[in-house]
Chain A
Amino acid sequence: MSEQRTRPTTNVDDPILRAENLRKRFGGIVAVDGASFEVERGSITGLIGPNGAGKSTTFNLITGVYRPDGGSVVFDGGDVTGHSPERIANQGLVRTFQIARELPEMTVLENMMLGPQNQLGESIWRSVTPVVRNEVIQEEKQLRERAWETLELFEIDHLAEEYASSLSGGQRKLLELARALLTDPDMLLLDEPMAGVNPSLEKKLLERIHDLQDEGYSFLLVEHDMDVIMNHCERVIVMHQGELLAEGLPAEIQGDEAVIEAYLGGDV
């Protein structure tokens, strides 16, 4: 059984992300115990599992927040195992967090402007040298335009000049996703993007994700809302106790005995 779990059983034609045999231990607790899966390029893939299944830890291992004890992560054909979060983000794999990490004492616009990668003005001397600074100002004007457009897309442009700390929980989720988009990613890892988001906003968010998918973005999302997973994901990965339990189409997962048992708390 466990031999089977370390190798994905279903075929993915063109994987953008491949995790192989990932392991992470915290003291005596094995949070992730040999998880392997692949995410199809241009797909929306769901990652589900009961609490403590190791979903968030897996996210942290993929995005470099934690260094894996074993296994490898391959993103877009390149090995990114153990790389720093900033390096992984620079390669186009960007994440959001389960509890939104907005930058509270910065305005919504400032938060957004942080997204774009490799800005000229991130070097000290370009920012302070009199003539060279004009280039920085020019770039800022272009980025400002993109930031406003993205805020409009997410319909939080009326909050642009408020501190991020004054936003509601759902608005923070929107801000985090909008900010992640400005990094020009190829793939987004969303950790419970719908948690704390009201139904109408949730609908809007899902529409946005589908639009982005049409533009070629890939998504891996952790979500507890089964309706979201079953109706919006092409593929579903199920984790349980740090291991991969099942993988397949939503319909297959829905009928999987092992999955039902894991969720209903039967003996495994």
Chain B
Amino acid sequence: MSERTIDTDRWKGDLLLLAKIVAATYVGFASLGLVTGVPINEVAGFLVTVTFFAASFALVTLALNLHWGYTGLFNIGVAGFMAIGVYTMAVLTASPDASPAGLGLPIPVGVVAGVLVAALVGAVIALPALRVRSDYFAIITLGFSEIVRLSITSGTLREIEVGDRVYGTGGGSGIGYTPVDSVIPWLFDRPGIGLLGDLLYGIGGLVGITTSIINRLLYALVIIAFVVAVYALLQRLAYSPFGRVLKAIREDEVAARSLGKNTKYAKIKVFALGCGLMGLAGILWMGSRSLVTPESFMPVVTFYIFVALIVGGSGSNTGSIVGGFVFAAFLWEGPRFLRTIARANLDTRSPPTIYDAALELAAFDVMPLVGYFIGSLDEFRWILIGVALVLLMVYRPEGLLGDRKEIAAATDLSQRQGGESDE
């Protein structure tokens, strides 16, 4: 009956829903893989990759949901803010002897600084950008993200000589640094935790899973921990008077202002916060490679995140996570897994063009056509994403979880004091 139980019930329900979706997907993929004779190590590797991408996508999608889903800020410069986070971390943590040189600071310092710089840049961009109407705002953010990417690529910032060292962004060849996911091997070098590592590796060895996959799994769990923390933070914001103001800005800013709400400050704060989270997501996702290059931050990355948000249901934090997961599992990694299965079981020589495949089809041989599709899977994935979006818009325009009434209040509004309930 108390408010607290209602609060925890809501969270429990959402977690359960999420767990069901994830479990069903993993069991489905794993049994499909094992039945069709894919080695267990490859199945495990695939599931770990899905987990990694799902957590990464979920984190960025949560940040975008704060901007677009809650506040109605049409930010299509997500990639730019991720780039700022990753590059800040790279410059701060790269070895001073490398080329281009970094400052050689510890990784945690780089991560925190990357988040703060992304948030700060977001706040600075918000000052002029939020004065214009939403469609112009979109153009500004897209333009900004391209400015970031092209600046990083540009010759001017490529090499900057300071003293006898050459710093800079490294242009198209990027900056090399110690990846963030080195935290797992580092942890296993500690005396106590090392035993746990040996144990996990041992279990992995028994069922035939390599240590590198176990390391990747553990790193994915680290990202999941961040997703949980960010989710808790954003849920609290969403279920609060501040979240109510954000929704009011999305619905009708003039009305919100006429009710005495300072929408300008709210928008700047929320934009900076979201940009910081995008920086964090960029670091955890792209920063787990040992090299960062400008190609990782093409505008299409922003598009992926929007697809994930729309699939999950704009305006719902739980929906954002579901969207990130569904996008990663079915649209991003799923097709590649099907290819693995197909290659293990079918004769999938790929003819050079679809014309050749069609010619053989005329001879009642379907396999070359199938082979062609599998061979060009990375391209066909685009069509898959497009078709999925169209189907979603027709049959469920509000997204998977977008139809839920998530009331922006810190307490259950339908309950009244004095035991008088509406039911």
Contacts and interface: CB of A to CB of B under 8 A. Distances in A.
23 contacts: A65-B258, A86-B262, A89-B257, A89-B258, A94-B258, A94-B260, A95-B258, A97-B255, A101-B255, A103-B248, A103-B251, A104-B251, A105-B251, A105-B315, A107-B413, A110-B413, A122-B266, A124-B237, A127-B410, A128-B237, A128-B240, A133-B240, A136-B240
A180 B417 contact: no
Interface of B: 3, 233, 236-237, 240-245, 247-248, 250-252, 254-263, 266, 269, 273, 315, 405, 407-411, 413-417, 422
Q: Which interface residue of A102, A104, A119, A124 has the most chain B CB atoms within 10 A?
A: A124
Contacts, number: 136
A69 interface: no
B411 A137 contact: yes
A103 B233 CA distance: 25
A161 B414 contact: yes
A101 B252 contact: yes
B394 to A, nearest CB: 21
Nearest to A90: B260
A114 B253 CA distance: 12
Contacts of A95: 258
B261 A121 contact: no
A102 to B, nearest CB: 8
B205 to A, nearest CB: 42
A114 B258 contact: no
Contacts of B240: 121, 127-128, 133, 136
Contacts of B407: 107, 109-110
Interface string A24-45: 0000000000000000000000
A113 B409 contact: yes
Contact of B241 (A127, A148, A163): A127
Contacts of A180: 259
Interface residues of A, number: 46
> Shortest 10 CB-CB distances between A and B: which pairs?
A121-B241, A89-B260, A127-B240, A103-B251, A101-B255, A85-B257, A119-B241, A140-B411, A140-B410, A128-B236
Given A85-B258, A114-B248, A124-B273, A106 B242 contact: no
B413 A133 contact: no
A121 B239 CA distance: 10
Contacts of A145: 416-417
Q: Which interface residue of A63, A117, A119, A140 has the most chain B CB atoms within 10 A?
A: A140
Q: Which interface residue of A122, A123, A133, A161 has the most chain B CB atoms within 10 A?
A: A122
A147 interface: yes
A87 to B, nearest CB: 8
A160 interface: yes
A115 B241 CA distance: 11
A89 B241 contact: no
Given A65-B258, A103-B251, A113-B244, 17 more contacts: A86-B260, A86-B261, A90-B260, A94-B259, A103-B248, A104-B251, A104-B252, A106-B248, A107-B413, A110-B247, A124-B242, A136-B240, A137-B3, A137-B410, A160-B413, A160-B422, A180-B259
A109 B259 CA distance: 15
Contacts of B3: 137, 141
Nearest to B238: A127
A63 B260 CA distance: 11
Interface in A114-152: 114-115, 117, 119-124, 127-128, 133, 136-137, 140-141, 144-145, 147-148
Given A124-B273, A128-B236, A84 B257 contact: yes
B409 A124 contact: no
A107 B404 CA distance: 12
A84 B413 CA distance: 31
Contact of B413 (A86, A105, A122, A144): A144
Contacts of B405: 107, 161, 163
Nearest to B249: A103
Contacts of B254: 65, 85, 101
B409 A127 contact: no
Contacts of A128: 233, 236-237, 240
Contacts of A85: 254, 257-258
Given A114-B245, A160-B422, A133 B260 contact: no
A180 B255 CA distance: 10
A127 B236 CA distance: 6
A21 interface: no
A97 to B, nearest CB: 8
Nearest to B233: A128
B409 A140 contact: yes
